């Protein structure tokens, strides 16, 4: 396989060459990038706010493709699971979509009585020149709720710019609510989207430590909670790609410190709790945290070791949206005795990739904004037993007879927290050790070559 | 029959349609060695890929010309050329199918002109066939993109000449299993044929040994070239607009004998297809199909009481709805709601032709609706069963009505591409599923819980 000329610097093999890496670029035309668009980035971040109406201003497709596709759960209202679109037609493309948008907003607000509305601009809106700002302002004044434009026109950058647009929109909510009664030991959880109920697991840990969670931003999100977020003492930022910018804005405006955390894997999860206890400099809290962590680890460790026994020595490939998640996954796989030999992300930054390089062993392929042709080649070349990615990567793995674990936003199994690590190990185990691979060409070839393959005897397989 | 107007509101809630380039991409994926390329922003291609992947569970590569801000100002010509260049060097395709998006249409890119330039600059050797179709989603929906792409391929690739024995068939947007069945039927009739598109293998293939950057299978370009020399062309789909009907085009342009038939769902519509093929092949309907037909009628008889008067809500592309309605009526059910997110403008009229007069007034026909409109119809009509794609599941759950999954997409079950809807065999499967769903509903609701029926 030939890596396209324009992408040569976005692929790196550790140990082979000086580290000159390119990233944060617009995808190459015609390269079949796995990325989506600015709109997608915004939608990902804001979508879990469950008591807001999310109106996509544009033609029907952009909204239809994002209807209820993500596993972000709500403990209450579920407005976010509906798909609203202005469904622009030719008439509006020619004459402008503002009147239609105005009507749509009024109708939606009257019918669903949301706490706020987010209006997403799509490509076409950027071209026909609708003034989102003005329409939103007008409706907001009339209806007395925040109506917030999200400038997410697809062509105006990459998914990362979409994160930024979403953060800017969130800043319009933050600061509107009262902050009295908020504990001095309080945090906001940034960048967890409550996939498969993960934020509930995390919130429970913090509660047991004696820490108040003011707002989930945006997992299981509520407008009124986010409006009070500026009252928290600390911001915990997961998924660096999407929420660092918000943490930065909140630091500038409200002086709130932030901590980078990850809830995936034993090490990182424990550190996410210890970091908070250290920040609050409270001995009692630290003690409670230690007890919590050791109790949780004790509960999952024996079982993890069992999985490790079966999985040790196997190789894995990781290709995810944000690079920060990739770090955690490399570490979590290592805990299971597995080696990551291909790792990449859609939106990593230079520092992210430098860190990844440090973390990985020699020979590991590091890749930015990859595509199916490259990915399929790398995973075959490295003969991995497991691929971790999202929906678009899954068929690449399966077609080649390789195990797969979904670590994207569609997943239905919680992977965060200590219990999440156990779920993760179980999922990896169930995929890698399944007897179905024995029928696949990859397995049969490795058998004739006499390779050590993914052995699966009936006694191990559930 | 009541033509139901969607109630006036300016917002679409849970759309019952997708956008045009999705349909076009599917068509291009059904051509051997072809790669679809969307002219617009990256997002459209990626969203469409993942939507297709979630149904087909196969790799679906769709390239994008990846607009940036400057391309929306100065035009996307340079991007499109670079995209073509990169697709050629990565995929070595036989054909690239270029579909526009809302964005490139709105800024008014002249794709044909850009392609002419590209052809001149690139030269002939090693250059794939380039087909372009205009697919702005603010006009129409995915099914329009589908038919427009088929038409574009034929208009831009097919040529005439002395007639051959080949028959060309345009199956419409059906499942991979349906396509396989159609091919089997054509082979059993001994016909040489072109089926366009044919994604039976490319979108529902076998496990691989090495990665195939373009999935094997699909309608061969050489046969598409010869389409103008077919002895006959069949378009399946009655709701298709005249300008989109590729069989009619071949008839007008090259004097090919053109036929327009319905999707062969149910006995009556399948009979029409089989009789047409029998005439074209100059032989009787093979015994195998006569037996399938006989067994199907036998099953109709065995189960007729479970179905009589039961009301169904059918939704999806107009021709799928029409085919289902025609089948439901012939087994004594009432297609009480016939809904589509598209606007063919022909569904009501075609239904009127196919449904018995006694059903007049019992059927609500709704075009251009979303799932919110369908919900309101369900509230009013209270059907016994829903028949349509998996996006109706929230309604099935909310109202406790069984959902028979048909069509596209099936995102909450495995095997969407393997669902058979057509022919006697497909009707048989459909029939069994519907009857069993109704029996199950009765069984579950019964306080007795009988285990024998
Ligand atoms: S912009 Fe148009 S083509 Fe692109 S996803 Fe939206 S509706 Fe589809
Ligand atoms: S039209 Fe723009 S905003 Fe919509 S999906 Fe395509 S790239 Fe994204």
By the CB < 8 Å criterion, does A258 face chain B?
Answer: no
Tokens of B212: 């195939």
How far apart (Å, rounded) are the C-alpha atoms in residues B391 and B108?
A: 33
What is the pLDDT, as a whole number, of residue A11? Answer: 86
Chain-centroid distance, C-alpha B110: 28
Question: A240 falls in which pLDDT band (50, 70, 90)?
Answer: low
- Which residue among A37, A83, A127 has the greatest number of ligand 2 atoms within 8 angstroms of its CB, and so is best to mutate? A37
Question: A68 falls in which pLDDT band (50, 70, 90)?
Answer: confident
What is the pLDDT, as a whole number, of residue A350? Answer: 87
A438 and A456 Cβ atoms separated by less than 8 Å: yes
Residues of B in contact with A121 (CB under 8 A): none
By the CB < 8 Å criterion, does A93 face chain B?
Answer: yes
Average pLDDT for chain A: 91
Q: Is the CB of A123 under 6 A from ligand 2?
A: yes
- Are A356 and A433 in the same domain? yes
What is the pLDDT, as a whole number, of residue A451? Answer: 54
What's the rounded mean pLDDT across residues B244-257?
98
Residue B211 has its nearest CB partner, among A64, A89, A376, at A376
Q: How many whole angstroms from A71 Cα to the centroid of ligand 2?
A: 21
What is the pLDDT, as a whole number, of residue A362? Answer: 87
Q: Is the CB of A37 under 6 A from ligand 2?
A: yes
- Are A286 and A416 in the same domain? no
Considering the domain boundaries, does residue A410 fall inside one?
yes
What is the pLDDT, as a whole number, of residue B175? Answer: 98
Say whether A85 and B12 touch across the interface (CB within 8 A).
Answer: yes
Condensed to tens digits (0 to 9), the pLDDT of residues B257-268 reads: 999 999 999 999
What is the pLDDT, as a whole number, of residue A458? Answer: 33
Please report the number of interchain residue pairs, chain A to chain B, with beta-carbon separation below 8 angstroms.
Answer: 234
What's the rounded mean pLDDT across residues B216-230?
98
Chain-centroid distance, C-alpha B247: 16
Least Cα distance to B150 among B247, B84, B251 occurs for B247
By the CB < 8 Å criterion, does B49 face chain A?
Answer: yes
Considering the domain boundaries, does residue A7 fall inside one?
no
Q: Is the CB of A39 under 6 A from ligand 2?
A: yes
What is the pLDDT, as a whole number, of residue A321? Answer: 83
Residues of B in contact with A70 (CB under 8 A): none
- Are A282 and A427 in the same domain? no
Question: A455 falls in which pLDDT band (50, 70, 90)?
Answer: very low
- Nearest-atom number in ligand 1 for the CA of B38 is 3
How far apart (Å, rounded) are the C-alpha atoms in residues A92 and A105?
A: 16
Condensed to tens digits (0 to 9), the pLDDT of residues A241-253 reads: 789 999 999 999 9
Residue A155 has its nearest CB partner, among B62, B63, B72, at B72
- For the B2-9+287-445 domain, the top CATH level (class) is alpha beta
Considering the domain boundaries, does residue A121 fall inside one?
yes
Considering the domain boundaries, does residue A27 fall inside one?
no
Neighbours of A327 (CB within 10 A): 25
Looking at the DSSP bridge assignments, the partners of residue A57 are A121
Question: B6 falls in which pLDDT band (50, 70, 90)?
Answer: low
Considering the domain boundaries, does residue A132 fall inside one?
yes
What is the pLDDT, as a whole number, of residue A20? Answer: 76
Considering the domain boundaries, does residue A354 fall inside one?
yes
Say whether A372 and B61 touch across the interface (CB within 8 A).
Answer: yes
CA distance to partner chain A, nearest, from residue B354 (Å): 31
For B343, counting Cβ atoms within 10 Å of its Cβ (0-12 exposed, 13-18 middle, 19+ buried), the class is middle
Number of domains in chain A: 3
- Which residue among B72, B76, B100, B102 has the greatest number of ligand 1 atoms within 8 angstroms of its CB, and so is best to mutate? B102
Residue B300 in this model has a pLDDT that exceeds 90: yes
Candidates A30, A102, A107: best to mutate against B (most CBs of B within 10 A) is A30
Q: Which chain B residue has its CA at the smallest distance from A91's CA? A: B138
Condensed to tens digits (0 to 9), the pLDDT of residues B168-205 reads: 999 999 999 999 999 999 999 999 999 999 999 999 99
> Which residue's entry shows tokens 């993942």?
B50
Average pLDDT for chain B: 95
CATH number, position A391: 3.40.50.1980
Pick the last residue of a domain from A247, A273, A294: A294
Residue B118 in this model has a pLDDT that exceeds 70: yes
By the CB < 8 Å criterion, does B46 face chain A?
Answer: yes
By the CB < 8 Å criterion, does A342 face chain B?
Answer: no
- The CATH number given to B167-281 is 3.40.50.1980
Question: A28 falls in which pLDDT band (50, 70, 90)?
Answer: confident
Pick the last residue of a domain from A113, A138, A171: A171
> Which residue's entry shows tokens 């599917």?
B26
SS3 A388: strand
Condensed to tens digits (0 to 9), the pLDDT of residues A102-128 reads: 999 999 999 999 999 999 999 999 899
Q: Which chain A residue has its CA at the smallest distance from B98's CA? A: A30
E strands, A3-115, where?
A: 11-13, 52-57, 84-85
Considering the domain boundaries, does residue A125 fall inside one?
yes
What is the pLDDT, as a whole number, of residue A294? Answer: 97
By the CB < 8 Å criterion, does A449 face chain B?
Answer: no
- Are A218 and A72 in the same domain? no
Quote the domain boundaries for residue A130: 38-171
Residue A291's contacts (CB-CB under 8 Å, 6 or more residues apart) are none
By the CB < 8 Å criterion, does B208 face chain A?
Answer: yes
Q: Is the CB of B19 under 6 A from ligand 1?
A: yes
Condensed to tens digits (0 to 9), the pLDDT of residues B375-395 reads: 999 999 999 999 999 999 999
Dump the DSSP string for A389-401: E-TTTHHHHHHTT
Condensed to tens digits (0 to 9), the pLDDT of residues A368-408 reads: 988 988 999 999 999 999 999 988 899 999 999 999 998 87
CA distance to partner chain A, nearest, from residue B316 (Å): 14
- Are A258 and A123 in the same domain? no
- Are A205 and A159 in the same domain? no
- Are A376 and A440 in the same domain? yes
Condensed to tens digits (0 to 9), the pLDDT of residues B58-87 reads: 999 999 999 888 888 889 999 999 999 999
- Which residue among B21, B42, B67, B145 has the greatest number of ligand 1 atoms within 8 angstroms of its CB, and so is best to mutate? B21
SS3 B240: coil
Residue B235 in this model has a pLDDT that exceeds 80: yes
Residue B294's contacts (CB-CB under 8 Å, 6 or more residues apart) are none
Say whether B65 and A395 touch across the interface (CB within 8 A).
Answer: no
What is the pLDDT, as a whole number, of residue A454? Answer: 46
- The CATH number given to B20-157 is 3.40.50.1980
Percentage of chain B modeled with pLDDT above 90: 91
SS3 B177: helix
Residue B165 in this model has a pLDDT that exceeds 90: yes
Least Cα distance to A341 among A356, A354, A328 occurs for A356
What is the pLDDT, as a whole number, of residue A449? Answer: 63
What is the pLDDT, as a whole number, of residue A462? Answer: 31
How far apart (Å, rounded) are the C-alpha atoms in residues B375 and B1?
A: 19
Dump the DSSP string for A363-386: T-EEEES--HHHHHHHHHHTT-SE
Q: Which of residues 139-168 of A touch B (CB under 8 A)?
A: 154-157
Instruction: Locate CATH 3.40.50.1980 in chain B.
Output: 2-9+287-445, 20-157, 167-281
Q: Is the CB of B47 under 6 A from ligand 2?
A: yes
Query: Considering only CA atoms, which residue is closest to atom 7 of ligand 1?
Result: A61
Pick the last residue of a domain from A294, A322, A341: A294
Dump the DSSP string for B38-79: EES-HHHHHHHHHHHHHHH-S----EE----HHHHHH-SHHH
By the CB < 8 Å criterion, does B182 face chain A?
Answer: no
Question: A453 falls in which pLDDT band (50, 70, 90)?
Answer: very low
Residue A450 in this model has a pLDDT that exceeds 90: no
- Are A132 and A114 in the same domain? yes
What is the pLDDT, as a whole number, of residue A459? Answer: 32
Looking at the DSSP bridge assignments, the partners of residue B193 are B167
> Which residue's entry shows tokens 């009936």?
A458
How far apart (Å, rounded) are the C-alpha atoms in residues B418 and B414?
A: 9
- Are A195 and A166 in the same domain? no
How far apart (Å, rounded) are the C-alpha atoms in residues A401 and A442?
A: 6
Considering the domain boundaries, does residue A29 fall inside one?
no
What's the rounded mean pLDDT across residues B398-403?
97
């Amino acid at each position: 396989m030939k890596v396209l000329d324009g992408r040569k610097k976005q692929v790196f093999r550790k140990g082979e060459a000086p580290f000159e890496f390119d990233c944060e670029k617009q995808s190459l035309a015609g390269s079949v990038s796995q990325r989506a668009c600015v709109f997608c980035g915004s939608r990902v971040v804001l979508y879990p706010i469950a008591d807001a109406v999310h109106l996509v201003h544009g033609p029907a497709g952009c909204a239809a493709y994002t209807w209820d596709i993500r596993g972000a759960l709500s403990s209450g209202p579920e407005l976010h699971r509906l798909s609203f679109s202005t469904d622009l037609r030719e008439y509006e493309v020619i004459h402008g979509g503002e009147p239609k948008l105005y009507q749509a907003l009024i109708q939606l607000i009257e019918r669903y009585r949301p706490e706020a509305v987010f209006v997403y601009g799509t490509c076409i809106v950027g071209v026909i020149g609708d003034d989102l700002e003005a329409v939103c302002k007008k409706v907001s004044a009339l209806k007395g709720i925040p109506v917030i434009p999200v400038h997410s026109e697809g062509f105006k950058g990459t998914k990362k710019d979409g994160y930024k647009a979403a953060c800017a929109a969130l800043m319009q909510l933050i600061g509107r609510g009262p902050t009295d009664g908020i504990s001095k030991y309080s945090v906001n959880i940034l960048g967890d989207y409550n996939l498969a109920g993960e934020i509930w697991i995390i919130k429970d840990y913090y509660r047991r430590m004696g820490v108040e969670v003011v707002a989930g931003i945006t997992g299981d999100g509520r407008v009124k909670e986010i409006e009070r977020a500026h009252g928290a003492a600390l911001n915990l930022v997961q998924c660096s790609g999407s929420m660092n910018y918000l943490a930065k804005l909140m630091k500038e405006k409200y002086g709130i410190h932030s901590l980078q955390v990850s809830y995936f894997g034993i090490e990182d999860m424990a550190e996410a709790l210890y970091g908070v206890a250290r920040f609050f400099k409270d001995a009692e809290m630290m003690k409670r945290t230690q007890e919590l962590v050791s109790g949780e680890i004790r509960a999952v460790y024996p079982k993890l070791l069992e999985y490790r026994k079966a999985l040790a020595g196997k190789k894995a490939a990781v290709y995810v949206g944000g690079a920060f998640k990739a770090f955690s996954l490399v570490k979590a796989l290592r805990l299971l005795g597995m080696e990551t030999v291909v790792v990449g992300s859609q939106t990593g930054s230079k520092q992210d990739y430098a860190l990844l390089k440090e973390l990985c062993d020699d020979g590991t392929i590091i890749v930015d904004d990859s595509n199916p042709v490259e990915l399929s080649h790398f995973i075959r070349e490295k003969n991995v037993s497991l691929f971790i990615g999202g929906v678009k990567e899954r068929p690449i793995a399966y077609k080649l007879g390789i195990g797969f674990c979904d670590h994207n936003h569609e997943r239905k199994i919680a992977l965060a927290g200590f219990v999440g690590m156990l779920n993760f190990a179980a999922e990896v185990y169930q995929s890698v050790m399944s007897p179905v691979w024995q029928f696949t060409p990859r397995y049969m070839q490795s058998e004739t070559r006499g390779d050590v393959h993914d052995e699966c005897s009936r006694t191990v397989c559930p | 029959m009541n033509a139901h107007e969607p109630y006036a509101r300016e917002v679409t809630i849970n759309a019952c349609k997708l956008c045009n380039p999705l349909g076009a991409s599917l068509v291009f994926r059904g051509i051997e060695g072809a790669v679809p390329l969307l002219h617009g922003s990256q997002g459209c291609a990626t969203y469409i890929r993942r939507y297709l992947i979630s149904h087909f569970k196969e790799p679906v590569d769709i390239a994008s010309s990846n607009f940036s801000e400057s391309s929306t100002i100065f035009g996307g010509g340079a991007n499109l050329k670079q995209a073509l260049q990169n697709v050629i060097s990565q995929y070595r395709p036989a054909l690239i199918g270029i579909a526009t998006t809302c964005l490139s249409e709105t800024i008014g890119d002249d794709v044909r002109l850009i392609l002419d330039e590209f052809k001149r600059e690139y030269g002939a050797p090693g250059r794939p066939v380039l087909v372009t179709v205009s697919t702005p989603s603010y006009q129409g929906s995915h099914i329009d993109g589908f038919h427009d792409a088929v038409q574009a391929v034929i208009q831009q690739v097919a040529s005439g000449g002395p007639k051959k024995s080949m028959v060309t068939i345009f199956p419409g947007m059906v499942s991979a299993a349906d396509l396989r069945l159609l091919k089997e039927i054509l082979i059993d009739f001994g016909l040489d044929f072109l089926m366009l598109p044919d994604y039976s293998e490319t979108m529902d293939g076998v496990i691989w040994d090495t990665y195939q950057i373009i999935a094997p299978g699909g309608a061969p370009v050489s046969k598409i070239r010869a389409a103008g020399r077919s002895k006959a062309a069949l378009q399946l789909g009655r709701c298709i607009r005249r300008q989109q009907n590729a069989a009619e085009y071949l008839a007008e342009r090259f004097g090919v004998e053109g036929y327009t038939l319905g999707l062969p769902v149910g006995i009556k519509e399948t009979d029409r297809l089989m009789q047409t093929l029998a005439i074209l092949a100059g032989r009787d309907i093979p015994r195998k199909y006569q037996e399938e037909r006989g067994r199907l009628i036998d099953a109709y008889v065995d189960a007729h009481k479970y179905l009589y008067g039961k009301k169904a809500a059918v939704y999806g592309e107009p021709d799928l709805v029409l085919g289902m309605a025609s089948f439901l009526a012939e087994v004594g059910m009432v297609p009480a709601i016939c809904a589509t997110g598209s606007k063919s403008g022909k569904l009501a009229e075609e239904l009127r032709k196919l449904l018995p007069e006694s059903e007049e007034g019992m059927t609500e026909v709704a075009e251009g609706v979303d799932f919110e409109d369908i919900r309101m119809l369900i509230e009013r009509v209270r059907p016994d069963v829903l028949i349509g794609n998996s996006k109706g599941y929230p309604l099935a759950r909310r109202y406790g009505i069984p959902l028979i999954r048909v069509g596209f997409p099936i995102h909450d079950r495995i095997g969407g591409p393997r669902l058979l809807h057509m022919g006697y065999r497909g009707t048989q499967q459909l029939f069994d599923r519907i009857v069993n769903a109704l029996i199950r509903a009765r069984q579950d609701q019964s306080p007795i819980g009988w285990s024998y029926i």
